[in-house]
Amino acid sequence: MADPLRILNFIDGQLAAPAGDAYLDNIEPATGKVYSYVADSDGIDVENAVTAAQRAFQGWSETPAAERSQILLRIADLIESDLEELARAESIDTGKPISLARGLDIPRAASNFRFFATAILHVESEAHITDRVAFNYTLRQPRGVVGLISPWNLPLYLLSWKIAPALAAGNTAVAKPSELTPMTAYLLSGICQKAGLPPGVVNIVHGTGPKVGAALTAHPAVGTISFTGGTVTGRAVAESCAPFFKKVSLELGGKNPNIIFADADLEAAIKGSVRSSFANQGQVCLCGSRVFVERPAYQDFVSRFVTEASSLRLGDPLEDKTDQGAIVSKTQLEKVKFYVDLAGKEGGKVVLGGGSPKNLNGRCQDGFFFEPTVITDLPVACRVNREEIFGPVITITPFDREEEVISYANDTEYGLSSSVWTQNLNRAHRVAEKIHAGTVWVNCWLIRDLRVPFGGMKQSGVGREGGDEALRFFTEAKNICIAR
Ligand code: NDP
């Protein structure tokens, strides 16, 4: 049998073994077995990548926007033409159902490149006339070498969400994907080569956060860091960047409320809520993990929600009919189990799931699976209702009044997203305005227009990405003031 693949770094346009020639096991979550190795890089690899990115900066930043756009569009085309290969790779690497990788993650990665490739052609610059005294205009210049750090849950989608605007704006980049899910970033290296991206414009260094991520955030030549991941890691990133006054964007965790009023279209609310609870096994930062239901609809909602969630097919992520795949890692699975145990101690009642499935055999028998789990009867202020679990576990709680549910929704350190289900238009606006979250969906979930500002309030993040916000983040605004 051939040796498993070794995932190499991508530095200066070439695949490169890590300087220390060390590798980490890359485990397939659905089987629990090692299926490839990934470069266990260190500060030397980061240094090499930063040097390559510095060398490439002048040429790339001076490349006309139309040419940069063409190359980014070619990357988008290649992602689309490699859709099946990428979807399979992502499903194996993350444990997510292949249908989700094929239908959402990979197409959205292509859309990210396409969106910023065209956005850069339509950038406007502001001008201000100061009476008869002066004329000002704003010059937005690329910032140089940027560091891009991304998590494991939507690996190619979130990486491309950073690479595309950074490059479109004329920066060069050093990216660090999660060591748990490096495969699609590795395939992206080949796509960048094929698309004709000049060497050094994107460099991808694989390895752990403490070694590669920390070296990147501490590198004095990397003045801009865009990070997506957990709140605890985000704090470490912010601390590391602070002494250099780096420009930092932090997209962090969430504990998102999903509010259902009794006047909602319950059929739509139940279907939408099952999706927002369990998509990607609940491992989407935007999943609604705290469901609040107005009391007259509570019993009906819980029983219909449980019936609907019970119909989700859990199994081999590579099978087309699977709705629920594996949890990304053993550590994450243990975390999910910990919180389900804790829910029992905090007075919760498990009304669906609550454990690992018993009926998985064949290649998935040692995989990291957990059933979709619904817990009721918990106090709003308990740990399970306040801390991010990031798995297929949700709580459902009744409420009586609008002000009461707004206070429940806001009773957490997080403020990433929220959903509100109601047919009362006035209430929808009123509640949406009062919820402390960067995004509020009304009668829907996960609809993403790439032009809108995206990000979190409170401990869910700092800064906004998406559309103009991302292009602004990756550029430095300079005011040029000319006397009249
Ligand atoms: P982590 O915070 O564990 O890791 C995110 C990235 O940071 C990984 O590449 C990780 O490397 C790296 N990293 C770890 N330590 C450091 C360090 N000291 N310095 C620099 N980089 C470091 O998040 P997860 O990968 O576990 O992702 C899940 C989290 O991401 C959840 O909290 C989720 O809510 C959040 N998330 C937020 C989103 C948003 O838009 N707000 C979107 C998606 C997820 P490695 O893992 O290889 O060690």
Catalytic residue (choose from 179, 192, 241, 285): 285
Expressed in angstroms and rounded, the spacing between residue 233 Cα and the centre of ligand 1 is: 6
Structure tokens at 411: 């009773």
Structure tokens at 222: 């990397």
Residue 1's pLDDT is: 60
Amino acid letter for position 342: L
Q: Count the Cβ atoms, other than its own, within 10 Å of residue 103.
A: 13
**Positive or negative torsion for Cα 279, 79, 187, 121:** negative
**Positive or negative torsion for Cα 150, 155, 157, 159:** positive
Expressed in angstroms and rounded, the spacing between residue 211 Cα and the centre of ligand 1 is: 14
Helices (H), 219-368: 231-241, 266-278, 295-310, 330-345
| Nearest protein Cα to ligand 1, atom 16 | 209
Q: What is the rounded distance in angstroms from the CA atom of residue 125 to the CA atom of residue 136?
A: 11
Residue 359's pLDDT is: 87
Phi, psi angles (nearest 5°) of residue 442: -115, 120
| Nearest protein Cα to ligand 1, atom 25 | 151
Three-state secondary-structure class, residue 106: helix
Environment class of 442 (CB within 10 Å of its CB; exposed 0-12, middle 13-18, buried 19+):
middle
Helix (H), strand (E) at residue 113:
helix 106-119
The ligand 1 atom at the shortest distance from the C-alpha of residue 232 is 2
Catalytic residue (choose from 28, 90, 251, 388): 251
Digitized pLDDT (tens) for each residue of the chain, 484 residues in all: 678 899 999 999 999 999 999 999 999 999 999 999 999 999 999 999 999 999 999 999 999 999 999 999 999 999 999 999 999 999 999 999 999 999 999 999 999 999 999 999 999 988 999 999 999 999 999 999 999 999 999 999 999 999 999 999 999 999 999 999 999 999 999 999 999 999 999 999 999 999 999 999 999 999 999 999 999 999 999 999 999 999 999 999 999 999 999 999 999 999 999 999 999 999 999 999 999 999 999 999 999 999 999 999 999 999 999 999 999 999 999 999 999 999 999 999 999 999 999 989 899 999 999 999 999 999 999 999 999 999 999 999 999 999 999 999 999 999 999 999 999 999 999 999 999 999 999 999 999 999 999 999 999 999 999 889 999 999 999 999 999 9
The per-residue DSSP string of 383-399 comes to: STTTS---SSEEEEEEE
Number of helices and strands (H, E) in the chain? 15, 23
Expressed in angstroms and rounded, the spacing between residue 151 Cα and the centre of ligand 1 is: 4
Q: What is the rounded distance in angstroms from the CA atom of residue 484 to the CA atom of residue 481?
A: 9
Within 6 A (CB) of ligand 1 lie: 149-153, 158, 176, 178-180, 208-210, 213-214, 217, 228-230, 233, 236-237, 251-254, 285, 388, 390, 416, 456, 461
Residues 6+ apart with CB under 8 A from 206: 7, 8, 9, 18, 38, 39, 40, 41, 176, 177, 179, 182, 185, 186, 212
Residue 466's pLDDT is: 85
- Residues across the chain: 484
| Nearest protein Cα to ligand 1, atom 9 | 178
Expressed in angstroms and rounded, the spacing between residue 319 Cα and the centre of ligand 1 is: 28
Ligand 1: which of 24, 112, 152 to mutate, most ligand atoms within 8 Å of CB? 152
| Nearest protein Cα to ligand 1, atom 34 | 253
Expressed in angstroms and rounded, the spacing between residue 261 Cα and the centre of ligand 1 is: 34
Expressed in angstroms and rounded, the spacing between residue 46 Cα and the centre of ligand 1 is: 18
Phi-psi region of 90 (alpha: psi -120 to 50; beta: other; left: phi over 0): alpha
Active site residue 251: yes
Which of 22, 25, 18 lies closest to 4 in space, CA to CA?
25
The ligand 1 atom at the shortest distance from the C-alpha of residue 251 is 41
Three-state secondary-structure class, residue 290: strand
Q: Assess contact for 147 and 219: CB atoms under 8 A.
A: yes
Residue 362's pLDDT is: 93
Q: What is the rounded distance in angstroms from the CA atom of residue 393 to the CA atom of residue 254?
A: 14
